[in-house]
Structure 1
Amino acid sequence: MDIVQYLVEERKANVNAVGDTGETALMRAAAEGYIRIVQYLVGCGADVNAKDEVRDTALTIAVESQNMDVVRSLIEDGGAEVNEIDGAGYTGLMKAAAQGRTDVVRYLVQEGGADVDATDGAGHTALMRAARGGHIEVVRYLVEECKADGNAVNEDGDSVLLQSAAEGQFEVIKYLVEECNVDVNATNLQGATPFTVAASAGHIEVMCYLVKECKADVNGKVDDGDTALMQAVHFGHIDVVRVLIGECEANVNAMTEDGETALMRAAQYGHLEIVQYLAGKCGANMDAADVVGGTALLRAAAEGYIDVVRYLVEAGADVNVKGRDGDTALILAAEFGQLEVVRYLVEEWGANVDATEGDGYTMLIAAAQYGHINVVQYLVEQRGANVNATDRDGDTALMRAAAEGHVEIVRYLAEDCGADVNVQDNDKDTALILAVQCRQFDVIRYLVGEQRANVNAVNNSGTTALMRAAAIGDLESVRYLVGTRSADVDITDKSGSTALMWATGAGHIDVIQFLTGMQA
């Protein structure tokens, strides 16, 4: 204190000077609870409502630091603005309510005139903040003595009850329901109720109270069609799932608008114990399909949850089931690179590695297209997959890999498996033409430079790889094909157009200049 007094009175220090963060001496003293220094600085004209870079005032800082004497001094001696907000939109009252400081809350309201209905940037009131923190004494005071609205909602439509349920604040919930007559089935903007959020957060006591005592709708759905059971499944709350079904009689086969069931959700997220409970104990339909034909098995296979896949298959799920686009569990596992699932389905269930789905995909083509070299190698080396098999478009695994830029797979299929790099699909496109169309320069360089792919091969339209490169303005590929590998610049397609004409039509000046320089 003596030093502060000396600096102000003898050295004429500016009491409102700010540091790098906008903090004043008054703010620092308020944070530390130095009441004598606070009183002195206020008496010397310190600005009690000054804000730092995060818009805190000395009062909001004092409240957050739980320095009641400082709070009182700032208001009574300095006339601090009680309803001033910080950068997050919080008033001192909101901060005190969140801390459960009934004494500070009471003082700010009764002596400071704090606005109990003020909201922060998200529409939260002091009552909401107290309720979320489970501060029942503050909640009672705000409701009973300050007439705070127990049915108020924030900008997301979350009521005080819903926010309390999300945090599992049982005492607050009982008070709001029994003393404030709040609506237990009120929904927020997403259609969530206090019951559904309690279930998703795993608050069993709250959930059971809302269902058994308050008659909350156990099978009610939020806007996306989720029930409380589905949300509990989503977060892996097995205890909640057991209570919802065993005690609350939740519908185990309820579906969202997309046809998703709780079992599908559990399988997709790899919650084995929940899958076992739903399918083994509750009779959940293992072969139920969503709107795209996806079953629990298909979801688990795509995500690579081998334990879930194994359980479902051995429990009787249809291993050959297909989604709407014809994908099987095997195809999906290959597509997503789930080698362990692929191995299980092939080796233990004798799945045909060359079987096709709706688009004619084989497992090998799917794995190659999505860049899963380990699955590709397993299928070829250990299961003898046909490297020259084609899909409905006539594309091979090598072609699909080339179009996607998976040069390692292209190299493996060409060098180790003898796949034909010049084979043509139904449109007579080659792997090179597809790679050019997709701007896969590393693949282009490998196919031409190391495999001597035919650079002048034409498709059904008479188009060459060079024409494709010119048409899309890929100067790097044009330079490589012409300058390094002598692609014929004068070939015409069936419409009589050359590569130069394709570039001209598309307005690719740099390609035009290069081809003109080559005397095209």
Structure 2
Amino acid sequence: MKQSLLSTIRLRHFTLCFLTLLMTFSLIAQEEETPVFKAVKANNLKEVKRLVESGADFQTGDMWHVEPVELAVSNYYKDIALYLLQKGATGRNGFYDACEKNDLSWIEILRDYGFTDSEAVLAASEYGHLNVVKFLVQEGFSVNVSQKRKPGLFRKYYISPIEAAVMNNHDEVAIFLVRNGVKIDEAVNFAFTYKRDELIKQLLPLGADANVVFIRAIKESNQSIAALALSSGATKSAVDEDGKNALLLAIENGDQLMIDYAIRELKLDVNSVSAANENALMLACKSQNLTLVTQLLDQTANLEFENNLGETALFYANRNDNPALFDLFLQRKVNLDHADHTGNTVLLKAASLNKSERVKLLIDRGANCAQVNNDGLNALSYLVEVNGAMVDVPLTEIFLGKGLSINSCGKSKETLVYKATLAGNLQLLEWLRTKGADFNPKNSSGQRPKCKNPQIIRYLLENGADVNAVDDWHATYMCVALELQDFELAQYLISQKIDLEQACYFDEPVLIKAIEKKDLPFVKFLVENKADVNVIGYFDRNAAEYAIKTEYQPVIDYLKTKGAMTPEERNVAVMKRLEETKQLNEFLNAKNTAAVLQVLRKYPDLPLSPDEQKKMASLAISASSLDLLQIALETYRFDLNQPVNFQKQSLLFLAVQQSNKDFTMLLVNKGADVNLEDDFGKKADDYATDKEIKKFLKEKMK
């Protein structure tokens, strides 16, 4: 009651607003009307003359640019219109309205003044003004025009002069139009549509195709016109565009009157077929005439007769929604597993039409559930495709018991898991898991189902779904977490090793999406979890550029602290780096350990030439710099056994010569070869002056 009252109030409010709007437009229109226009509107010839003689503007009309003379012509104010035309009025619209009046002399005057309208014949035809139609045709106006009409806001239709004449019983006009350019088949069609038998009789002698009239008469169950067409030259064996003769058409329509007429009077063979090789039994299944179908079933010897598509009559019965008609076939010995040229049986067709009860009936009658068509689809595939998460679970259980796969799907490749995810049906997903369903569903485009339910997302991932899959909007699961502001889901996705650099919709990774949302907490979360702060998005803009575009300073400042830079800032940084790294070789030659360390720590990814690496490693030994040695070994993976000087001595030789026991032991423990010889054929221990070092090396050489 409350809802009904609310709806009534809203309707009244809308109506009031609409009427107010109309009144406003009406007032504006009146204000825009010139004095002459208002006088014409009032059909006041005297006032029109007074205004014109006093010099008033008689060419300008209203806000819709309708001129005074056009208004006069449209409203059939002949005296005013003629006066204004004689005074030189230039407007020439309104001729269509004039042609609706049966005033030929007035129309001739307007033509002399140059009035015209491409649809004028329609106006005269609709009102049955034969003399006007004749005059217009003589003047060269087309009889084959079409006018769009809109009876409602979202409705439209088209009407032609011949249809207007036929529907309004203006036979003389219709005949004249046919004799002057309208196709006679078009006239015949409208005559049948509006049940104008008398007009059809007049059209036949004018050259109407008697066979066309005969076939249409059979379709319309019009025996008298059919007989007239036969007497006018039609053949009783005539067929329509689908190759169906009168008997087949009557059977298809379930029209017993025409069936009797075709058999008894026309003597047509009940065994005839259409161009598509459809027999009488097939076409009878399109009707609701159970008596006819029963009769033909008893008369048809071959129930497995096929049409051009490989379908039997059973396929036609299957398409009929009347279960009683289908039962008539099941009572006979028909082949339920007959497949058409596409490999479909009636079971597959019933499934594709979502006829669950019929599917169950066919299964009970022994239809083959394992049948697949030429596309590799089975009955369950169709039921899943049509019903999605609303699939009949008990029926699905039956199919599973018959050996069909729980992952059956249609051409879209959307399985039940896919459909259940789309529908947010966790209960169905849990049931599907017990049946061994694949929980990494992708459609034919390789996309995962759209899902914004954190619980279902976790359930999918826990059961094998691809954490980096994207939906049809190219949204990743992390994009979903961002949209939902669900940090718990986001953290779970991180634990599942989701790719944070993968682009979402519009080719923008999730970090950029968070930046655009000005979501500082999520930006921080992503960066702290190793999201690339210089990631590239749409139009090759990077994260820093997106942040600047948002003008949200907290995000801009945070990203800068994490190394995010615009291309311009990066260019400046690169130039600065070049300047600083250019001095590295000088520092190495000068054996300035502190300066070398400062550069390498500032630019840990700085590429070094093999010669620079040797100098760095040698400096680490000579300066006893464990930090520098660590950089050489861990960052640059320096080979401990490669020669570092012209004597082909490794770092171990240098450490021994410096009597650096700690470095000697460290290098050996890191894999330095104690048995290497230099260019003098000596080993590292040969250079040892420290007894402990020598003893250590000797033990390692054993």
How far residue 63 of structure 1 moved from its aligned partner, in angstroms, is: 3.1
> 2:503 aligned with 1:469, yes or no?
yes
1:330-376 deviation line (CA, Å, top 9, x unaligned): 443234326776234257x5844995168799xx9822223576695
The one-letter code matched in structure 2 to 1:124 is: D
2: CA distance, partners of 1:226 / 1:453? 62
Gap change, CA 1:354 and 1:286, over 3 Å in 2: closer
Q: 1:272·1:307 contact (CA, 8 Å) conserved in 2?
A: no
The one-letter code matched in structure 2 to 1:56 is: E
The one-letter code matched in structure 1 to 2:540 is: I
Partner of 1:126 in structure 2?
Answer: 187
> 2:268 aligned with 1:215, yes or no?
yes
Gap change, CA 1:81 and 1:318, over 3 Å in 2: same
Partner of 1:173 in structure 2?
Answer: 226
1:424-473 deviation line (CA, Å, top 9, x unaligned): xxxxxx5232227x544164434785164556978xxxxx8456639x97
How far residue 509 of structure 1 moved from its aligned partner, in angstroms, is: 3.2
Mapping of 1:42-57 within 5 angstroms?
Answer: 42=107, 44-46=109-111, 52=117, 55-57=118-120
> 2:210 aligned with 1:150, yes or no?
yes
2: CA distance, partners of 1:454 / 1:209? 76
Partner of 1:290 in structure 2?
Answer: 340
Partner of 2:475 in structure 1?
Answer: 441
Unaligned ranges ≥5, structure 2: 1-42, 46-75, 148-157, 516-522, 547-563, 571-604, 606-702
SS of the residue corresponding to residue 299 of structure 1 reads: helix
> 2:361 aligned with 1:311, yes or no?
yes
Mapping of 1:107-126 within 5 angstroms?
Answer: 108=176, 115-116=178-179, 118-120=181-183, 124-126=185-187
Partner of 1:368 in structure 2?
Answer: 417
The one-letter code matched in structure 2 to 1:485 is: L
1:153-187 deviation line (CA, Å, top 9, x unaligned): xxxxxx44444444444332332234313474445
Gap change, CA 1:86 and 1:187, over 3 Å in 2: same
How far residue 12 of structure 1 moved from its aligned partner, in angstroms, is: 5.2
> 2:339 aligned with 1:299, yes or no?
no
Q: 2:273·2:279 contact (CA, 8 Å) conserved in 1?
A: yes
Partner of 2:395 in structure 1?
Answer: 345
How far residue 407 of structure 1 moved from its aligned partner, in angstroms, is: 0.5
Higher relative contact order (CA 8 A, sep 6+): 1
> 2:447 aligned with 1:403, yes or no?
yes
Partner of 1:138 in structure 2?
Answer: 199
* Higher relative helix content: 2
Partner of 2:690 in structure 1?
Answer: none
2: CA distance, partners of 1:5 / 1:217? 67
1: CA distance, partners of 2:393 / 2:187? 57
Gap change, CA 1:267 and 1:511, over 3 Å in 2: farther
Number of equivalent positions = 449
Mapping of 1:1-150 within 5 angstroms?
Answer: 4-8=77-81, 23-30=95-102, 38-42=103-107, 44-46=109-111, 52=117, 55-57=118-120, 59-65=121-127, 67=128, 70-72=129-131, 75=134, 84-87=143-146, 95-97=164-166, 101-105=170-174, 108=176, 115-116=178-179, 118-120=181-183, 124-144=185-205, 146-150=206-210
Partner of 1:245 in structure 2?
Answer: 296
How far residue 24 of structure 1 moved from its aligned partner, in angstroms, is: 3.6
Partner of 1:427 in structure 2?
Answer: none
Gap change, CA 1:118 and 1:251, over 3 Å in 2: farther
How far residue 301 of structure 1 moved from its aligned partner, in angstroms, is: 2.9
The one-letter code matched in structure 2 to 1:7 is: I
Q: TM-score normalized by structure 1? A: 0.64
Partner of 2:526 in structure 1?
Answer: 485
Partner of 1:276 in structure 2?
Answer: 327
How far residue 422 of structure 1 moved from its aligned partner, in angstroms, is: 7.6
1:475-514 deviation line (CA, Å, top 9, x unaligned): 2447359955357678xxxxxxx998xx9xxx97347988
2: CA distance, partners of 1:446 / 1:194? 63
Q: 1:466·1:499 contact (CA, 8 Å) conserved in 2?
A: no
Mapping of 1:501-516 within 5 angstroms?
Answer: 509-510=540-541
1: CA distance, partners of 2:434 / 2:470? 18
Q: 1:127·1:142 contact (CA, 8 Å) conserved in 2?
A: yes
Q: 1:301·1:309 contact (CA, 8 Å) conserved in 2?
A: yes
2: CA distance, partners of 1:292 / 1:78? 55
Q: 1:93·1:105 contact (CA, 8 Å) conserved in 2?
A: yes
Partner of 1:426 in structure 2?
Answer: none
Q: 1:201·1:232 contact (CA, 8 Å) conserved in 2?
A: yes
The one-letter code matched in structure 2 to 1:259 is: G
2: CA distance, partners of 1:488 / 1:256? 65
1:377-425 deviation line (CA, Å, top 9, x unaligned): 55456xx43268355xxx53599999333305x645445xx443483xx
Gap change, CA 1:305 and 1:93, over 3 Å in 2: closer
Partner of 2:37 in structure 1?
Answer: none
SS of the residue corresponding to residue 432 of structure 1 reads: coil
Q: 1:366·1:397 contact (CA, 8 Å) conserved in 2?
A: yes
Unaligned ranges ≥5, structure 1: 31-37, 109-113, 152-158, 424-429, 459-463, 491-497
1: CA distance, partners of 2:409 / 2:130? 74
> 2:400 aligned with 1:356, yes or no?
no
How far residue 289 of structure 1 moved from its aligned partner, in angstroms, is: 2.4
The one-letter code matched in structure 1 to 2:199 is: V
How far residue 41 of structure 1 moved from its aligned partner, in angstroms, is: 1.4
Partner of 2:432 in structure 1?
Answer: 385
Q: 2:342·2:374 contact (CA, 8 Å) conserved in 1?
A: yes
Q: 1:298·1:329 contact (CA, 8 Å) conserved in 2?
A: yes
The one-letter code matched in structure 2 to 1:345 is: L
Q: 1:263·1:278 contact (CA, 8 Å) conserved in 2?
A: yes
Gap change, CA 1:451 and 1:257, over 3 Å in 2: farther
The sequence identity of aligned pairs, in percent, is 14
The one-letter code matched in structure 2 to 1:369 is: Y
Q: 1:432·1:444 contact (CA, 8 Å) conserved in 2?
A: no
2: CA distance, partners of 1:400 / 1:115? 55
How far residue 285 of structure 1 moved from its aligned partner, in angstroms, is: 3.0
Q: 2:278·2:307 contact (CA, 8 Å) conserved in 1?
A: yes
1: CA distance, partners of 2:191 / 2:338? 44
SS of the residue corresponding to residue 385 of structure 1 reads: helix
CA RMSD of aligned residues (A): 5.3
Gap change, CA 1:388 and 1:330, over 3 Å in 2: closer
1: CA distance, partners of 2:208 / 2:190? 12
SS of the residue corresponding to residue 98 of structure 2 reads: helix
